[in-house]
Amino acid sequence: MKKILVTGALGQIGSEIVLKLREIYGDSNVIASSKDDREAGSEEVTGSGPFEIVDVLNLRQISQVVSKYKIDGIVHLAAVLSAVGEEKPHLLWDVNMNGLYNILEIAREKECAIFTPSSIAAFGPSTPPDQTPQDTIQRPTTIYGVSKVAGELLCDYYYERFGVDTRGVRFPGLISYKALPGGGTTDYAVHIYYEALKSKKFVSNIKEGTKMDMMYMPDALDAIINLMEADPSKLKHRNAFNITAMSFAPEDIYKEIKKHIPEFTLEYDVDPIKQRIAESWPNSLDDRAAREEWGWNPKYDLSSMTEDMLAKLRLKLKI
Ligand code: SER
């Protein structure tokens, strides 16, 4: 990839991957895009290189930007997440499916490679929940998960049928300190750090004992870049690879934070919708295919992530 378009560039992943890609490929070669530029704290992204308004539901807008910058790689991140999706299933289907379809069509026409994330949400209650295999039953029960399975299949189809270089990973919950996640089920694992520092008390909307896979953002960014740079002859899978860095329940992350903030307390006020979603997802993924095919190897575990998150958030929140 030489000229890269990032959609959803002001979101939780987008606002970090744009900066990292600009370091590697050059500021002017990474075009950040979003359907509007009103997100708070977006200046770092909009000010450090090209920024364009692109609504992924507007085929002409995507096409114009891809032609204008001679884009040859698209990191497609614009999407609605799981919890918001249960409130607005029609919006989710429109953005996640029609948005992806538009991006794939432009990529086919203009010969671009594509990275787009799938998720642990692509699995469901009938999936083996522990050490979930790479290739297994995928019968999700959320509209988000349905869109992720359909998206994986559509990306595979565009590769097999039209030769579009599509690649993806199944991201677990992503934890980061720059932009907040927007309406996912795993968001609690980000908010808990903010509350530990701000109010020393956290109310978890996910029940004790509910394990989900998680990952610190620096590892997620490496995953995107390493997979896109991977030798295609080594890839047996494409859409999408299981990847994980850790698996924990609310009480595990709480105990880890408490080591640094002894007065921190945890309570529960379970959100039934988020809990139902969380329980339908795996407890832990088997990520051996990603390790074998393109060298996936995360650096952060719960303890090193917690140390770094608290240090970075202390600076950000001036606490
Ligand atoms: N973090 C996402 C969510 O909770 C999972 O892909 O929706």
Q: Print burial letters for 30-48: b (CB count within 10 Å at least 16), e (below 16).
A: bbbbbbebebeebeebbee
Give residue 250 CA to ligand 1 midpoint distance, Å. Answer: 15
Per the structure, the complete domain to which residue 182 belongs is given by: 175-214+246-283+301-317
Average pLDDT over residues 183-188: 94
Domain-embedded: residue 27: yes
Q: Is the pLDDT of residue 39 over 80?
A: no
Domain-embedded: residue 206: yes
- Please name every residue paired with 166 in a beta bridge, in sequence order, or none if there are none: 114
Residue 40 pLDDT grade (very low, low, confident, very high; cuts 50, 70, 90): low
Tell me what the pLDDT averaged over the chain comes to.
Answer: 96
Spacing of C-alpha 161 from chain mean position: 26
Domain-embedded: residue 292: no
Q: Is the pLDDT of residue 204 over 80?
A: yes
The dihedral built from the CA positions of residue 124, 128, 131 and 134, taken in this order, carries a sign that is: negative
Domain-embedded: residue 293: no
Together in a domain, 237 and 275:
no
Together in a domain, 151 and 272:
no
Together in a domain, 41 and 140:
yes
Together in a domain, 305 and 205:
yes
Pocket of ligand 1 (CB under 6 A): 81-82, 119-121, 144, 171, 173, 184-186
Together in a domain, 88 and 219:
yes
The dihedral built from the CA positions of residue 312, 316, 318 and 319, taken in this order, carries a sign that is: negative
Domain-embedded: residue 295: no
User: Which pLDDT tens digit goes with each residue over 81-108?
Assistant: 999 999 999 999 999 999 999 999 999 9
Together in a domain, 266 and 149:
no
**What per-residue confidence (pLDDT) applies to 182?**
84
Domain-embedded: residue 61: yes
Pocket test for ligand 1, best of 84, 87, 123, 144 (most atoms within 8 A of CB): 144
CA distance 17 to 176: 12
Residue 36 pLDDT grade (very low, low, confident, very high; cuts 50, 70, 90): confident
Domain-embedded: residue 30: yes
Please count the structural domains in the chain.
2
Q: Is the pLDDT of residue 311 over 70?
A: yes
Give residue 28 CA to ligand 1 midpoint distance, Å. Answer: 31
Domain-embedded: residue 291: no
Atom of ligand 1 nearest to the CA of 183: 7
Give residue 233 CA to ligand 1 midpoint distance, Å. Answer: 30
Together in a domain, 49 and 73:
yes
Of all protein residues, the one whose alpha carbon is nearest to atom 7 of ligand 1 is 184
Together in a domain, 238 and 259:
no
Spacing of C-alpha 134 from chain mean position: 18
Together in a domain, 209 and 231:
no
Of all protein residues, the one whose alpha carbon is nearest to atom 3 of ligand 1 is 184
Together in a domain, 200 and 221:
no
Instruction: Specify the CATH number for the domain of residue 198.
Output: 3.90.25
